[in-house]
Each structure stands twice: as structure tokens, then as C-alpha cells.
Amino acid sequence: MSDFTISPDGHYRLCLPLIAPGTVYDLRTGTLRDAWERFTPAVRGLLAEAPQYLARCGPCPMRARCGQCPAIAYLETGAMDGVPEYFCALTQHVGEACTPRDEASSR
């Protein structure tokens, strides 16, 4: 991933909705080089720690189709490794809609 965004007030983020504490760099007090070379790897290196996420999402076979991401999880739950409940239902529906009819009828 090599994208980032800079807001009009000078805040550097790896994606627009990512506003969790520790994931926003103030370019008014630092440099773009520092943000890219030091801050970006630190944010990308953050790992999920919440037991619910690790138990539920980690082994989920639908994980590749799931739209859950740390930014959305933070906005929905207040934690980047939170589990927005509706993502599971939505992902299940997407999986069903993307399953070929022959395969779905054989279940």
C-alpha cells in the first residue's frame, strides 16, 4: 500500500477515515519524509489484540470478502480491532450472492 491522504488542516493519514489516536500525523509540526519513513511503518505495524476480533475474524473463511478494516472498525466501535456486528451479516450475504447457483443448490 502506498497511498495516503493529507487533510486541508495538514493531517497525514494512511486513509481518509482513519482517525484513531496514534494514526494521524500533523504535518504542521513534522515533515512529509518523517511521516512516510517513520510514521507510516509504525501505523502499518499495528496488530489486532482484541480477543473477540482474534477469535471471530482471524479464522473466518469469509475474511477475504469482508469489508471490515481498522478505520471503519474504529468509527463503528471505538477500537481499530473492534468487530462491527453488521459486517458479518453483510459479508455472508455477499458470499451467498457471489456463489454460483449450482454450488449453492448442492448445499
Task: Provide the residue ranges of all domains of the chain, joining segments of one domain with +.
Answer: 1-46, 49-107
At 2 the pLDDT is: 75
Q: In whole angstroms, give the CA distance from residue 7 to residue 30.
A: 15
At 102 the pLDDT is: 58
Q: What is the pLDDT along the chain (107 residues), one digit of tens a residue?
A: 578 999 999 999 999 999 999 999 999 999 999 999 999 999 999 999 999 999 988 888 888 888 788 999 999 999 999 998 888 888 888 878 887 765 555 55
Q: What is the pTM of this model?
A: 0.77
At 8 the pLDDT is: 95
At 103 the pLDDT is: 56
At 107 the pLDDT is: 54
13, 4 in Cβ contact below 8 A? yes
At 13, is the secondary structure helix, strand, or coil? strand
